[in-house]
Structure 1
Amino acid sequence: MKASLLVMLVLMFSVIAAACGDTKIETVDVIREITKEVPVEVIKEVEKIVEVEKIVEVEKIVETVREVEKIVEVEKIVEVMAQRDKRELVFAGLNWDSALVQNGVARYIVEHGYGYPTTQIEGGTIPLFQGLRKGDIDITMEIWLPNQNAAWNEAIKDGQVFSVGRSLEDNWQSTFIIPGYIADANPGLVSVQDLKKDEYKSLFTEPDSGGKAVLIGCIASWSCRAVNEGQIVAYGLSDHIELRDPGTAGSLAAAIEGAFKKEEALLFYYWGPTKLAFDHDFRRLEQPDPSTCANNDPVNGCEFPAANILIAMNTDLYADAPELIAFFKNWDWSAGNQLAADGWYGDNKDDYDSSEEAYSATGVWYLKNNDAWKTWVPADILANVEAALANES
């Protein structure tokens, strides 16, 4: 169609030209451009927004879910240390009041607070300390140093015993004590050396002592006995003094009580703080200071230094009763505690069938009537002891 239009236009221009000018025939080359329509694939990118409402058929699936309660059993393995059997613990029943009063208090706490059954074996210092070393004794409430220095140091070296705390505090001891009324009547009797003088030595002689002054000293099973003997030799008194064994602590105390009651002369060994020393006027004869002796050891001829009195355990208790170590480390047996408990024991001991019952009762009395011990134990142990005390008559 485009070609036809082009031909017509050419003819029209030719007619117009002929009409308007000289007749001139001009040959014109007509170039016919023929456009052939050839199908061409045209990719046209058209941006067109068409809203289409599409209906999609949805298949509704109803799924039935069955709820199942699943119970899972879980086996929980908890590692628990096997409860240690609490075996019977054996206390040293040292044969003097301060040690046995402390036993009464300590055993009650150990039994009712910590749950250990206890017992005690009575005897003197030397055999009971050997028992502690061998494990026949578990706990000793009084180890007197320096009296027991040699045996104690050996046992420590051998790993048989250990110290867990301090025992009787504010202590003293002397081999040469006289009643106050004798000292007042004999102002020249001041020193142990004065016992060499007949006028003073004669105060303490007995019909069977061969003119020597009788000294009632430590019993043979006490470590202080060797100190008594050493002092007599060191002071040059062997020809002037006869050392006698009272046999028991009770007999020693009875001899002292009897002499004071009758105001008789008596030369004797004793220690404090004790009710006996508190109740009576004891005068100690002068002796050289402990610093003048080798190793401060009175056996070499000087006064007893203030004793270091320890609570000791056999080393088996590290494993068998470890919780008691902290308890005894907190133990604080002051002079006030001792005098109170010892005083009650002295006033009430005759009401009981045995000395062990009397000391046990002393322990109960002390725990009921004093608060100091409550700081020695943790809260749960305190509660146990107080519950037990509530049931005591």
Structure 2
Amino acid sequence: MLKQRKAMKTGVLLFFAAIMMAALAACGTTTEVIKEVPVEKIVEKEVIKEVPVDKIVEVVKEVPVEVPVEVVKEVIVEKEVVKEVIKEVVVEPTPAPKDTLVFAGLDWTSAQVQNGVARYIVENGYGYPTEAIDGSTVPLFQGLIAHDIDITMEIWLPNQEAIWSKALKDGQVVAAGKSLEDNWQSTFVVPTYMVERNPGLVSVSDIAEFKDLWVEPDSGGKAVLIGCIAGWSCRAVNEEQIASYGLEDVVELRDPGTQAGLFASLEGAYLKGDPWLGYLWGPTKPSNELDLTLLEEPAADGCANPGEGCAFPPAEVLIAVNTDLIAEAPEVIAFLRNWDWNGVNQLMAEGWYSENKDDFDDPFEATGIYFLKNSEAWTEWVPDDVEANVKASLAAVASP
């Protein structure tokens, strides 16, 4: 169709060009000759033929489309993980209550004060209940052999040598440690002022000459000698020595009844400057505070028994337990083996006791608490856990 349109435009142009040339010729002087020339007339017809055509219409339609948005979420997922754990648990049976440990309540200060300290440690440090049976040396040692007594804080040798050696040999007792420092003791002690006033009063052999110094109205003309307490092992030694020295007709041996009675007798005479003759040992409060003299006796060296007529040898003082305790309370035996009741500890505790005993229902327990609160010496005798237990208990107790 486009080619047909171009051909038609070309024919029209040629036709108009011929008319213009004819007009120009008429206006001139020359004769216009019109010559008809046959011209081929090209008539172009535009034929429009309607042909049914499928009409494609592009329609743009806005359709809302949901554009997916990528959302990143941090999700914390908790998972309960169940693990099956098999543990082998050894269940120990509930420990049985500990047995009560029985102390010998010997009737003199040093032993009772040691009991006060030791019992507090055993009860509050090791967890054993304790009690004491009061009495004198001989019956309480029989109780130790019979296992009615568990612990005796003072066994005096050689005073108890014979019975001690037999019980040791028979396997009834065992030494658990050292008690006091080695002590001295004598049946024939006088205040030094008596020796100074009476030159020649030097030995036991001089007692007969000076007996009138100690005669009392009810002594039948004999010198009164305040001896060891009845029931103590030293009492028998007093009697044997008096006999061995030939003084039975010269001396009357009297029983002071208690340690307190013995000390009071000496201290009362000393304060007044009166004569006094009797048994004593040391270190004790009187022996440390008073000026005393031991009358001379044959030496203990080579003398098996002072009752045979010689001086007491230095006293070795032991702690003893019955053999059942080895299995029942070995940790307590270990504690007693570490015990060290030296002169410093002894005099510190006994000095406080002497000054404060009348203020307490149980002065020995109070003395034990006083000593434990005011000395660190005992911490060397026990392991750390026991020390902690004792100190925790002391913290809850008012200072005596």
The TM-score range, normalised by the shorter chain, is 0.7 to 0.9
Aligned equivalents of 1:314, 1:170: Cα separation in 2:
23
In structure 2, list runs of 5 or more residues that go unmatched: 1-79
- Check conservation: 1:216, 1:269, Cα contact below 8 A: yes
Q: Is the 8 A contact 1:173 1:272 kept in 2?
A: yes
Aligned to 1:388: 393
Q: Is it true that 1:211 corresponds to 2:221 in the alignment?
A: yes
Number of corresponding residues: 320
CA RMSD after TM alignment: 1.8
Specify the alignment match of 1:47 in structure 2: none
Quick one: distance in 2 between partners of 1:269 and 1:131? 26
CA distance in 2, matches of 1:69, 1:364: 57
Aligned to 2:278: 268
How many Å separate the matches in 1 of 2:287 and 2:258?
Answer: 17
CA deviation vs aligned residue, 1:8-61 (integer Å, no higher than 9, x gap): xxxxxxxxxxxxxxxxxxxxxxxxxxxxxxxxxxxxxxxxxxxxxxxxxxxxxx
2:101: which partner in 1?
89
Q: Aligned residue for 1:78?
A: 90
For 1:196, the equivalent position in structure 2 comes to 208
Report if the CA contact (8 A) 1:133-1:160 is conserved. Answer: yes
Q: Is the 8 A contact 2:226 2:256 kept in 1?
A: yes
Aligned to 1:314: 322
Partner Cα distance (1:236, 1:120) in 2: 40
Q: Does 1:334 align with 2:330?
A: no
Structure 1 gap segments, 5+ residues each:
1-67
8 Å CA contact 1:178, 1:268 repeated in 2 = yes
Q: How does 1:284-299 map to 2 (within 5 A)?
A: 284-293=294-303, 295=304, 297-299=305-307
Matched, 1:112 2:112: no
Q: Residue in 2 aligned with 1:168?
A: 180
Q: Does 1:123 align with 2:142?
A: no
Identify the residue that residue 367 of structure 1 maps to in structure 2.
Answer: 372
Tell me the SS of whatever aligns to 1:290: coil
Larger radius of gyration: 2
**Cα–Cα, structure 1 residues 302 and 316, in superposed 2: closer, same or farther, change >3 Å?**
same
Matched with 1:152 is: 164
Q: Matched residues in 1 for 2:87 and 2:110: separation?
A: 56
The alignment partner of 2:181 has SS state of coil
User: In structure 2, the residue corresponding to 1:74 is in which secondary structure?
Assistant: coil
SS at match of 1:210: coil
Contact 1:170 1:273 in 2 (8 A): no
CA contact (8 A) 1:292 1:302 kept: no
Name the aligned partner's letter for residue 136 of structure 2: G
The residue aligned with 1:178 is 190
Deviations 1:165-212 (A, max 9, x none): 000104111100001221211121010000121xx1110111122221
Aligned mates of 2:82, 2:254 — CA distance in 1: 89
Q: Distance in 1 between matches of 2:283 and 2:291?
A: 13
Give the drift of 1:72: 4.4
> Distance in 2 between the 1:352 and 1:90 partners?
22
Measure, in 2, the Cα distance between the counterparts of 1:314 and 1:143: 13
Structure 2 Cα separation of the partners of residues 84 and 319 of structure 1? 15
Distance 1:69 1:350, change over 3 A: closer
Letter in 2 for 1:332: D
The residue type equivalent to 2:232 in the other structure is W
Q: In 2, Cα distance between the equivalents of 1:170 and 1:125? A: 18
Identical amino acids, percent of aligned pairs: 59
Q: Deviations over 1:266-300 (max 9, x none)?
A: 1110111111211111211000110141x2x2111
> Which amino acid letter does the alignment assign opposite residue 368 of structure 2?
G
Amino acid at match of 2:334: A
How far is 1:81 from its partner?
Answer: 7.1
Work out the CA distance in 2 between the residues paired with 1:133 and 1:209: 39
CA distance in 1, matches of 2:94, 2:237: 49
Shift of 1:132: 0.8
The 1-side partners of 2:281 and 2:211 are apart by: 23
CA contact (8 A) 2:182 2:317 kept: no
Distance change (3 Å), C-alpha of 1:73 and 1:382: same
Superposition deviation, residue 360 in structure 1: 0.7
Out of 333, 338, 350, which is 1:325 matched to? 333
Q: Output the CA distance in 2 between the equivalents of 1:228 and 1:161.
A: 26
Q: How does 1:134-149 map to 2 (within 5 A)?
A: 134-149=146-161
Deviation (angstroms), 1:82:
6.2
What is the CA distance between 1:70 and its match in structure 2?
Answer: 7.8
Provide, for residues 214-258 of structure 1, a one-character-per-residue CA deviation record: whole Å limited to 9, x for no partner: 111011200001110111111111121111111112211111121
